[in-house]
Chains A and B, each alone.
Chain A
Amino acid sequence: MIALSGIERVYRAGGETVRALRGVDLTVRAGEYLSIMGPSGSGKSTLLNILGLLDRPDAGRYLLDGRDVTALGDDERARLRREKLGFVFQFFHLVPRLSAAENVELPMMLAGIEPAERRRRVARLLADYGLADRAHHRPSELSGGQCQRVAIARALALGPAVILADEPTGNLDRQTGREVMAALERAHEAGAVLVVVTHDPEIGARAHRRLRMRDGAIVADTSA
């Protein structure tokens, strides 16, 4: 599904050069559930951004679904993000002026799906994540857990092959965090690859395959 080889990512900040990723090799097969752990600055988020086609590596090769996506243009990457990838963020990144239903609808709107079809799918997704009675609430009227579930429903709106979650429980209490993870894992059980970046060992331990990073390299790769 995913094959990274020799991925390098270098930042230049104020004359200093930071090697955020140093020759990362990673292969992920369909249906896998990975967690990526490691201290701050170890390159977890950079790796996730590269996997999510939000960032470009400075060296190395990225095959997604057998296709070399390393050198694709911005518009083509945008299309792949829409069609194959789903993102869940620590701070939810819901559009504050839109209702829960409208936030979930957003990717379908970008994909140009018919309004009637969108409404049907939104209703189903919201019901799946226990948000049917919150459809018309704004994010400011929802709890953190509800916000993250809206974000998950949004990530799943177009049936992505890969779900990328960056600290999805980082802003939630432990119990809510567990509920959110359960929601993500349900999507994984439906067939998607799930990659979770986390600081929380308890969350990291739920994954079937656990990566540990340090100084821009994968230093441990264990399967349960």
Chain B
Amino acid sequence: MRAADTVRFAWGAAAGARARTAFTLLAMAIGVAAVVAVTAIGEGARRYVVAQFGALGTNLVIVLPGRSETAGAMPGVLLGRTPRDLTLEDALAVRASRALRRVAPLVVGAGDVHVGALRREAPVLGSTAELQDIRRMTLARGRFLPAGDPRAASAVCVVGATVAAELFGGRAALGEWLRVGDRRFRVIGVLAPQGTSLGFNTDEAVIVPVAAAQQLFNTEALFRILAEAKSRDLVPQAKADLEEILRERHEGKRDVTVITQDAVLATFDRILGALTLAVGAIAAVSLAVAGILVMNVMLVGVAQRRAEIGLLKALGASAAEIRAAFLVEAALMAAAGGAVGLAIGRLGVWLAAEFFPAIPFGVPAWALVAAPATALATALVFAAAPARRAARLDPVQALSRR
């Protein structure tokens, strides 16, 4: 039998049992669509996180107190030791590194922000002029914190877009006074809406000079030191410099953690990539279920087509030819189901992108290949037993029944 004839014959058989074929095809399509949709969501999350990190600046180097290989649990905390705090002096000292372009200390706290009778809880960031460039902030009006001695607690602040809108309403915020806790600050700048960056919404924040924040929260400690390397190539050098300078300042103890944008990005990339693969594999379970359906449909087909199989044998079809006809039939159903599933999946991804435009959904290339390939392989595996049963049918018995 010629290959084209086998395909045509199998196609005819599949088309002949319309309802059974439609169900199988649908099951395959749902499986493939699930894999496509789920991996697209995972990929969307990955791209989103990567883009968020990108928004932070690619040469970003972050220093946090305590020694830890990752940004997770700190061993010092686990052992009951309090890590030595980072101080403003530390931040000023690391400016000596030639690999760094700028350094910004960061103090973070929550404060009650008052304007007249209006009150609002807002995150208060204490930093310096350098923060603007390191965090790529843009101003809608006014100017950012002034450059100058970071130890000076001048009473000025920059407010996020939401804070400005809510506390000052329609009025111009610029030049107005607001109160945080027991201190008053004059608004010298309003940030343009920035959106959320890694869970931190600067639109809702009030930014004050670092020394003012330290007084406000009554602390010497910094939450982070943010630094920007002069170039991407200098990031490792910057990291080494930061560690060395801080080790010297901390009596030779390596008690800070320096994380780089690249390392964090690579970690997230890896984690989210693995996660996408995992959820894709879970979705592929539905393909296995579809495979069982294929087996059932094929077994019913073999039972219903006993006489036809017996006839084909009487006409001189070999066992291999009959097996091939059934396998090709299963493969055709899987291929058609896979094609429909890809279409449904992509439609779903398109719809998701319409509703959640912020997330860059996208089906990973491997999923576009793996999903239909898995469908095809599953169909062939599960059709093997029915096909073998058909091929082994005794022609006399097959023909004797009506």
* B1 lies within 8 A of A81 (CB): no
A87 vs B316: C-alpha distance in the bound complex, in angstroms?
Answer: 11
* A75 lies within 8 A of B318 (CB): yes
A82 vs B395: C-alpha distance in the bound complex, in angstroms?
Answer: 14
A49 vs B1: C-alpha distance in the bound complex, in angstroms?
Answer: 24
Say whether A28 faces chain B, with CB atoms less than 8 Å apart: no
* A110 lies within 8 A of B402 (CB): no
Interface residues of B in 11-41 (CB under 8 A from A): 12-13, 15-16
* B317 lies within 8 A of A78 (CB): yes
Contact residues in A for B320 (Cβ distance below 8 Å): 75
A156-187 vs B, Cβ < 8 Å mask (1 yes, 0 no): 00000000000000000000000000000000
A78 vs B399: C-alpha distance in the bound complex, in angstroms?
Answer: 15
* A55 lies within 8 A of B312 (CB): no
* B319 lies within 8 A of A87 (CB): no
* B318 lies within 8 A of A78 (CB): yes
Contact residues in A for B152 (Cβ distance below 8 Å): none
* B319 lies within 8 A of A75 (CB): yes
Closest residue to B316 on the A side, CB-wise? Answer: A82
Closest residue to B310 on the A side, CB-wise? Answer: A93
* A52 lies within 8 A of B12 (CB): no
Say whether A26 faces chain B, with CB atoms less than 8 Å apart: no
Query: Which of A80, A97, A110 is in CB contact (< 8 Å) with B312?
Result: A110
Say whether A74 faces chain B, with CB atoms less than 8 Å apart: yes
Nearest chain A CB to B218's CB is how many angstroms away?
86
**Category for how many chain B residues contact A:** 20 to 34
Say whether A127 faces chain B, with CB atoms less than 8 Å apart: no
Nearest chain A CB to B10's CB is how many angstroms away?
12
Say whether A18 faces chain B, with CB atoms less than 8 Å apart: no
Closest residue to B15 on the A side, CB-wise? Answer: A97
Say whether B77 faces chain A, with CB atoms less than 8 Å apart: no
Interface residues of B in 102-124 (CB under 8 A from A): none
Say whether B365 faces chain A, with CB atoms less than 8 Å apart: no
Query: Which of B2, B313, B402 is in CB contact (< 8 Å) with A91?
Result: B402
**Category for how many chain A residues contact B:** 20 to 34
A91 vs B315: C-alpha distance in the bound complex, in angstroms?
Answer: 15
A79 vs B314: C-alpha distance in the bound complex, in angstroms?
Answer: 10
A80 vs B316: C-alpha distance in the bound complex, in angstroms?
Answer: 7
A127 vs B1: C-alpha distance in the bound complex, in angstroms?
Answer: 25
A109 vs B314: C-alpha distance in the bound complex, in angstroms?
Answer: 14
* A54 lies within 8 A of B395 (CB): yes
Query: Which of A79, A80, A97, A111 is in CB contact (< 8 Å) with B16?
Result: A97
Among A49, A89, A96, A109, the one with the most B-chain Cβ atoms within 10 Å of its Cβ is A109
A154 vs B314: C-alpha distance in the bound complex, in angstroms?
Answer: 12
A161 vs B315: C-alpha distance in the bound complex, in angstroms?
Answer: 14
Say whether A24 faces chain B, with CB atoms less than 8 Å apart: no
Say whether A106 faces chain B, with CB atoms less than 8 Å apart: yes
A111 vs B321: C-alpha distance in the bound complex, in angstroms?
Answer: 11
* B307 lies within 8 A of A107 (CB): no
Known: A49-B396, A93-B310, A93-B311. A109 touches B9 (CB 8 A): yes
A122 vs B1: C-alpha distance in the bound complex, in angstroms?
Answer: 17
* A79 lies within 8 A of B316 (CB): yes
* B399 lies within 8 A of A83 (CB): no
Known: A97-B13, A112-B1. A89 touches B316 (CB 8 A): no
Say whether A95 faces chain B, with CB atoms less than 8 Å apart: yes
Interface residues of B in 263-319 (CB under 8 A from A): 307-308, 310-319
A-B contact pairs, 30 of them (CB 8 A): A54-B314, A54-B395, A54-B399, A55-B396, A74-B318, A74-B319, A75-B318, A75-B319, A78-B317, A78-B318, A79-B316, A79-B318, A81-B313, A82-B316, A82-B317, A83-B316, A91-B402, A93-B311, A93-B399, A95-B308, A95-B311, A96-B16, A97-B15, A106-B312, A106-B315, A109-B2, A109-B9, A110-B1, A110-B312, A112-B1
Task: Add 13 more A-B contacts to A106-B312, A110-B316 (CB < 8 A).
Answer: A75-B320, A79-B316, A83-B316, A89-B399, A93-B311, A93-B314, A95-B308, A96-B16, A97-B15, A107-B316, A109-B5, A110-B315, A112-B5
Top 4 A-B pairs ranked by shortest CB distance? A82-B316, A97-B16, A81-B316, A93-B311
